[in-house]
Amino acid sequence: MSSLAGRDLLSIADLNGQQIAELLKLAAALKSKELSVTCNKVLGLLFYKASTRTRVSFSVAMYQLGGQVIDLNPDRTQVGRGEPLIDTARVLDRYLDILAIRTFEQKDLETFANYSQIPIINALTDLEHPCQILADFLTIQETFGKLSGLTLTYLGDGNNVANSLLLGGVLMGMNVNIATPKDYQIQPEIIEQAKNLAQENAKIMITNDPKEATENAHILYTDVWASMGQEDEAANRIPIFQPYQINDELLKIADPEAIVLHCLPAHRGEEITDSVMEGKQSKVWDEAENRMHAQKALIASLLGAV
Residues labelled catalytic = 102, 129, 132, 223, 263, 291
Beta bridge partners of 69: 43
Which amino acid is located at 294 in the chain? A
CA distances 134 to 20, 172, 297, Å, are 8, 11, 10
6: left (phi over 0), alpha (psi -120 to 50) or beta: left
Q: What is the DSSP letter of 81?
A: G
Which amino acid is located at 27 in the chain? A
Beta bridge partners of 205: 177
CB atoms within 10 A of CB 83: 12
Residues 6+ apart with CB under 8 A from 220: 153, 155, 214, 246, 250, 251, 254, 258, 259, 260, 261
Q: Half-sphere exposure of residue 101, counting CA atoms within 13 Å on the CB side? A: 32
